[in-house]
Amino acid sequence: MSPELLFWSELILKMVMTAAVVVIVSITVERSGPFLGSLIAALPTAAGAAYVILAIEHPPQFIAASAIGSVASTAGVAIFAAIYAMLAQRHGLVASLGIALAIWFLIAAALRLVAWTPLTSVILNVVVFAVTIALCWRYRTAGPPRKFVRSALDIPFRAFASALVVAIVTTVSYSIGSFASGVFAVFPIVLCCSIVILHPRVGGPASASMLAHAQIALIGLWLGFLAVPLGSWWALTIGLAVCMAWSGVLWIVRRRRPAS
């Protein structure tokens, strides 16, 4: 398969998968509340699609190095979510999302200055998540946001907006090396698109609640990527299973105790 065909295959796969998940996440948040939406948003949808294509094109060593970048970058996603959740309480969409994204890109640049290993990337996540979970706990809500009228173009717009973001990010971040590829593979595409859709419709605090709930759900993301350096295809399968199992455990625990 030619490099050009691989590139476009990755792009189309990421666009379709991300668009579908953004629609599911936003509808879930609207109807069922932020907790369930956060579990879906934290799954490695766009990242999983990217890794499938990378595994076709590159040897296991490249995938292993990319996975370390993804593990380290997940800490940046947690910080992004925390910054947005705090700013969205009093500020509008542009300021809240814009500042959070700017900080994510600064973190992504800073991560490249360190020679990360599986151990150091795990330590980074443990420290960062301990802080962000504590900071965001106050912004968690249990119930669905207020009702609103949905237009006929809502779902197509959600799909188009998320697919457009994926196309831009994939085009800019392609061919930048293994570690950087792993970093940008977990760019918070689904979270960004969901924010763009939800913030002006249900308000900043309600939208931020999904990001606050996502803090714990995102732990499953970096735990899953830890399995990827063990190999390629079977390791990717194990990584996805770890992410889904983590979300499943959170769902079971939630069902067995009063909502917080």
Q: Rounded to whole angstroms, how far apart are CA atoms 19 and 167?
A: 11
pLDDT at site 149: 45
Residue 236, CA distances (Å) to 51, 73, 217 in order: 8, 17, 19
Nearest Cα to Cα of residue 223 among 45, 53, 116, 75? 75
Is residue 154 in a domain?
A: no
Q: Rounded to whole angstroms, how far apart are CA atoms 50 and 71?
A: 15
Is residue 237 in a domain?
A: yes
- Work out how many domains the chain is built from and give that number: 1
pLDDT at site 10: 64
Is residue 177 in a domain?
A: no
- Domain hosting residue 231, numbered range: 13-25+34-141+187-255
Is residue 112 in a domain?
A: yes
Q: Report the C-alpha dihedral over residues 235, 46, 223, 100, rounded to 10 degrees.
A: 160
pTM of the predicted protein model: 0.77
Is residue 159 in a domain?
A: no
pLDDT at site 160: 74
pLDDT at site 245: 84
pLDDT at site 241: 81
pLDDT beneath 70: ranges in the chain: 1-4, 6-7, 10-11, 14, 18, 21-23, 25-33, 46, 49, 53, 57, 142-155, 157-159, 161-176, 229-233, 258-260
Amino acid at 181: S
201 token code pair: 């419709």
Is residue 75 in a domain?
A: yes
pLDDT tens digits along 183-199:
887 888 778 877 887 88
